[in-house]
Chain A
Amino acid sequence: MAGTLNFSPDDRYNAFITTCREAPFCDGALAGTAVAVKDNISTAGIRTTCASRILESYVPPYDAHVVGLLREKGAAIVGKTNMDEFGMGTTTETSAFGPVRNPVDPSRVPGGSSGGSAAAVAAGFVPMALGTDTGGSIRCPAAFCGIVGLKPTYGRVSRYGLIAYANSLEQIGPMARTVEDVSRLMSVIARYDPHDSTMLDRPYDHRPSADIAGLRVGVPEEYFGEGVDPRVAETVRDAIGVLEGLGADTVPVSIPGMRHALAAYYVICTSEASSNLARFDGVRYGPAVDTKKTWHEAYQDLRQAKFGTEVRRRIMLGTFALSAGYAGRYYAKAQVARRNIKEDFERAFRDADVIAGPTMPTVAFRLGEKTDPLSMYLSDILTVPANLAGVPAISVPCGRVDGLPVGLQLMGRQFEDERVVDAAFAYEQEVRR
């Protein structure tokens, strides 16, 4: 079975930056399945913008490893999804192509930065999509749009062809309406690639199992404290009660390093971004730089005109955090905090097999609600720890508050993505009955 899939959705949520009206596909496990791909993942011959004016007309000459795998397995790549510019945001409002609207309530944001992928899945335009998660960018929009999203263990999915924002934190991962589809997509993309030297050869070949009797579920107090909407906390506690009803045992655990997590995360991701985004100079790709100007003048003029404000703010923050006289206070301290958090997780995983909490501290914000950068950053507090520790984390819908979806987040030991998938599957099967 091979052919062409016709794809022309009524994209009233602005989920796509580019759609492919006639998407070819070949035979394979995903034959003819429409898959949307976040627009920071390279697709040969299909423009890839990172939702930025600086890459507005960039057409990659090669496929990301995961895209090659999708094509090989018969997926029809039907479009490139909208996102926060370069992945820098929690709402998909920083896109140069306009904000995405949440299909559950179009006056709300879909979350970010993979907001287009989440909206495309939630609206039913595609059954599954790829997102990327640097500090929650798969799990946050999955929670806000009421779908399932998995951030794999760091090193389980190749980042080759992912346009880098913060290499030490980010992973490509699957998003879908069901845990089973998330697992199916994961088994296609988690395949070894020597192009990514941070990868281990640990392929994912798993069919979800709902048998979780005896599973030890760690409940960290830090995930239910200050800043978390009490109704969201209550909804998630009820969901953990469902896991107990299925034979899981809950144990209290603690991640004391959480108090440093958000600051450490923002220091590390902006530092890495300031280095990664230096390549956007209008020379090798992007709009032509004025070669008559001097190097710095040409470079500064182009980047001021083509980067959005949040991208410029993060590049400047990272430049500052790495600059002489400050690197010891910010970057070096953030690395120590990161290691402490990783050790907190290792300690917690001696008593627990998975750790459960809310994905986001609140339900989806209204469009335009978060105007101050720091208050936007603070909403990432429950998702960044998994990226700092490199552990797998899934968000599965677990109820509603004010009619808006809430996500249950389940984190696991490194390379135990299968276990978080099973726990999420058990929950989903139980509540769907």
Chain B
Amino acid sequence: MVTESDIEHIAELADIGISKDEVPEFTTQFNAILDYFEVLDTVQGESAPADGITNVFREDEPRPCLPQEAALVNAGSTENGFIKAPRVM
């Protein structure tokens, strides 16, 4: 069971804005879905590493990549060849 304040907290963690009037519906839908997920409590077996699968690595060497102008072209806000972001502090 999740409560309305849990939903507000999850939205905060996910950086998804949520309005007051959306909270009750999201809570009801979440609880219906989580009730359904309870079937996972009956899963038998332990997690084990997958066989036959290996990581794919490469040497950390510079390779051709997008030119700076192309990488910046979709950014909403740029300054001196950099992407501008909101302040963190």
Q: Report B29-52 CB contacts with A as 1/0, cut-off 8 Å.
A: 110110011011111111110100
Whether A301 pairs with B17 at a CB distance below 8 angstroms is: yes
Question: A288 vs B78: C-alpha distance in the bound complex, in angstroms?
Answer: 10
Interface residue? A377 (CB, 8 A):
yes
Interface residues of A in 221-272 (CB under 8 A from B): 259-260, 262-264, 266-267
Q: A278-B15, A316-B16, A335-B47 are in contact. List 20 more A-B contacts (CB 8 A).
A: A61-B71, A61-B74, A259-B39, A260-B39, A260-B42, A274-B14, A281-B15, A283-B85, A284-B74, A286-B74, A292-B86, A297-B86, A298-B86, A300-B11, A305-B17, A317-B30, A319-B10, A330-B37, A333-B41, A372-B29
Main secondary structure, interface of B, reads loop
Whether B86 pairs with A336 at a CB distance below 8 angstroms is: no
Whether B15 pairs with A303 at a CB distance below 8 angstroms is: yes
Question: A296 vs B10: C-alpha distance in the bound complex, in angstroms?
Answer: 14
Whether B87 pairs with A294 at a CB distance below 8 angstroms is: yes
Q: Closest approach, in angstroms, between the C-beta of B62 and any C-beta of chain A? A: 16
Task: Tell me the nearest residue of chain A to B18, going by C-beta.
Answer: A304
Interface size of B in residues (CB-CB distance below 8 Å): 46
Whether A288 pairs with B76 at a CB distance below 8 angstroms is: yes
10 tightest Cβ-Cβ pairs between the two chains A and B = A288-B76, A304-B17, A285-B74, A197-B56, A300-B17, A319-B14, A61-B70, A298-B86, A333-B40, A337-B43
Question: A335 vs B44: C-alpha distance in the bound complex, in angstroms?
Answer: 11
Choice from B19, B36, B77, B85 contacting A374 with Cβ under 8 Å = B36
Whether A336 pairs with B15 at a CB distance below 8 angstroms is: no
Whether A337 pairs with B40 at a CB distance below 8 angstroms is: yes
Q: Closest approach, in angstroms, between the C-beta of B67 and any C-beta of chain A? A: 9
Collect the chain A residues with CB atoms within 8 Å of residue B2's CB: 320
Question: A28 vs B17: C-alpha distance in the bound complex, in angstroms?
Answer: 49
Collect the chain B residues with CB atoms within 8 Å of residue A303's CB: 15-17
Q: Report A69-107 CB contacts with B as 1/0, cut-off 8 Å.
A: 000000000000000000000000000000000000000
Interface residue? A329 (CB, 8 A):
yes
Q: Closest approach, in angstroms, between the C-beta of B34 and any C-beta of chain A? A: 8
Whether B44 pairs with A340 at a CB distance below 8 angstroms is: yes
Task: Tell me the nearest residue of chain B to A299, going by C-beta.
Answer: B15
Contact-size category for A: 35 or more
Collect the chain B residues with CB atoms within 8 Å of residue A313's CB: 26, 29
Collect the chain B residues with CB atoms within 8 Å of residue A377's CB: 33, 36
Which of B43, B44, B85 has most A Cβ within 10 Å? Answer: B43
Choice from A62, A293, A315, A323 contacting B86 with Cβ under 8 Å = A293
Residues in chain B within 8 A of chain A (CB atoms): 2, 7, 10-19, 22, 26, 29-30, 32-33, 36-37, 39-48, 50, 56, 66, 70-71, 73-77, 83-88
Question: A318 vs B76: C-alpha distance in the bound complex, in angstroms?
Answer: 28
Collect the chain B residues with CB atoms within 8 Å of residue A61's CB: 66, 70-71, 73-74
Q: Report A339-354 CB contacts with B as 1/0, cut-off 8 Å.
A: 1100000000000000
A-B contact pairs, 10 of them (CB 8 A): A61-B74, A286-B74, A289-B86, A291-B85, A295-B88, A300-B16, A303-B17, A304-B17, A319-B10, A336-B43
Question: A62 vs B48: C-alpha distance in the bound complex, in angstroms?
Answer: 38
Whether B47 pairs with A320 at a CB distance below 8 angstroms is: no
Q: Closest approach, in angstroms, between the C-beta of B45 and any C-beta of chain A? A: 5
Question: A317 vs B37: C-alpha distance in the bound complex, in angstroms?
Answer: 11
Interface residues of A in 388-413 (CB under 8 A from B): none
Q: Closest approach, in angstroms, between the C-beta of A280 and any C-beta of chain B? A: 10
Q: Closest approach, in angstroms, between the C-beta of B57 and any C-beta of chain A? A: 9
Whether A304 pairs with B66 at a CB distance below 8 angstroms is: no
Q: Closest approach, in angstroms, between the C-beta of B19 and any C-beta of chain A? A: 7
Whether B66 pairs with A299 at a CB distance below 8 angstroms is: no
Question: A417 vs B23: C-alpha distance in the bound complex, in angstroms?
Answer: 45
Whether A334 pairs with B17 at a CB distance below 8 angstroms is: no
Whether A323 pairs with B13 at a CB distance below 8 angstroms is: yes
Q: Closest approach, in angstroms, between the C-beta of A287 and any C-beta of chain B? A: 6
Q: Closest approach, in angstroms, between the C-beta of B16 and any C-beta of chain A? A: 5
Collect the chain A residues with CB atoms within 8 Å of residue B84's CB: 283, 291
